[in-house]
Amino acid sequence: MTTLVFLVLFFGLLILGLPVAYTMLVSSAIYIALAGLPELQLTLRASGGIESFSLLAIPMFLLAGNLMNGMGVTERIFNFAGVLVRHITGGLGHVNVVASILFAGMSGSAVADAGGLGAVEIRAMEQAGYSRRFAAAVTAASATMGPIIPPSITLVVYGFLAEESVGRLFLGGALPGLLVGFGLMVIVYLLVKAGKEEAPRLPRASFGEVVSAFWKALPALLAPVILLAGILGGVFTPTEASVVVVLYVLVIGTVSMNFDFHQIIGALMATVRTTASTLFIIAVSSVFGWIISIQRLPIEIVGFMQDMFVSQAAAMALIIVILLVVGMFMEVLAALVLLVPTLLAIAHTFGIDTVHLGVTVVVTMMIGSITPPVGLVLYTVMAVARVKMGELTRALVPFYIAMVCVALLVAFFPQITLFLPDLLMPKAQ
């Protein structure tokens, strides 16, 4: 009876529109009271949920992204992407995607991409003659690569929850992230080629322009190289790598980009706000997940799936459907803490590699970040581009299709994810 009240209260508060984090907190607190458990369990489970060394990477990667936004790195990255692909049919649409790929290798956050680099991308595309809705749609879709391509704050959280190597997860996200970018570029090309979107033809950049843009962007482009080289070389862990990247950004910002103290303070304040909300979600989700586990709901779900499905492919297909639906209604980190225990039980039952599972989860959940009603990236781009939700979501439809196709490829072809981790960071036998 207590479990039924707990679930009804949780879904009821969600339907009423209470934010997911507060919904989990309230329903968990009421369950603890009704079950006669010590009230101290609420604070113990919440505080214990964020007592992890690996979670220190979250504020550090956020800070690195905010610092780079503040020092004007976004413009340099956009200009470098421009000289590489602006001449292809679709012009600045492709530049938008490539710039997001490069920025994803530094920030690890979709919202940082959409809010920082997105403002530069949308302004440039509008000035070149693209419609605002198309510019906003490409920006929103390309921002989803931030948590897929390493470094990734979302994969850090998954690694913490699944007790999986963050280094292997980072490597696992590289090829799927690039595959998402390729899929988005194909959609841009097809839309422009079919005349669905007007796009001015831009001249191919000269060799001198490429060299100049590369030289200006080089300090920023070296950040992900240093990060991955250090992790693969065993110089530092992924968590320590996040601190190294922040120090590197501070050095290059001070030396070569005239970074000042006020910009550092602004970046710190933005990081504190985002980190506080992120860790709050993880903390209350830990309490909620603990209640779910003691009620044996993951075991019940796995037992049901064993009766209904007999193959790994069928289980993976159901996971994709669940993630697509949940992603529309829950913020990614909250959904991770809620779903990962059950998904891990399914993975162990059907022999799914946990790195493959994690990358599949993140790729699929990122589709939810650009779908109503709870898409954080969607709302960020709406604010930056000043477009209405209906207008933006209609423009995003072709990109939704591309991203779902990529999610299915990643789900059903594990080697897309596992090739690099197995090659560069094989599991100890």
In this structure, of 36-45, 157-166, 344-353, 354-363, the range with the lowest mean pLDDT score is 36-45
User: Which pLDDT value is given to residue 169?
Assistant: 94
User: Which pLDDT value is given to residue 6?
Assistant: 79
Q: Name the percent of the chain lying above pLDDT 90.
A: 27
Contact 335, 326 (CB under 8 A): yes
Q: For residues 325 and 314, what is the distance between their CA atoms, to the nearest angstrom?
A: 17
> Does position 63 have pLDDT exceeding 90, yes or no?
no
Instruction: Tell which residue, 66, 266, 238, 103, has the closest CA to residue 177.
Output: 103
Which H or E run contains 420? helix 415-424
- At 380, the pLDDT band (50, 70, 90 cuts) reads confident
Which range has the top average pLDDT, 51-60, 249-258, 265-274? 265-274
> Does position 256 have pLDDT exceeding 80, yes or no?
no
Q: For residues 48 and 238, what is the distance between their CA atoms, to the nearest angstrom?
A: 21
User: Which pLDDT value is given to residue 227?
Assistant: 81
User: Which pLDDT value is given to residue 305?
Assistant: 62
Taking only the tens place, the pLDDT of each residue in 205-255 is 898 999 999 998 888 888 888 888 887 777 887 778 888 888 888 887 777
Instruction: Tell which residue, 221, 32, 129, 135, has the closest CA to residue 143.
Output: 135
pTM for the model stands at 0.82
Taking only the tens place, the pLDDT of each residue in 141-193 is 999 998 999 888 889 889 988 889 888 999 999 999 999 999 999 999 999 98
In this structure, of 5-9, 47-51, 146-150, 298-302, the range with the lowest mean pLDDT score is 298-302
Q: For residues 139 and 428, what is the distance between their CA atoms, to the nearest angstrom?
A: 40
Q: Can you give the residue ranges of every domain in the chain?
A: 4-37, 51-424
Which H or E run contains 90? none
250: tokens are 């501070």
- At 339, the pLDDT band (50, 70, 90 cuts) reads confident
Contact 146, 103 (CB under 8 A): yes
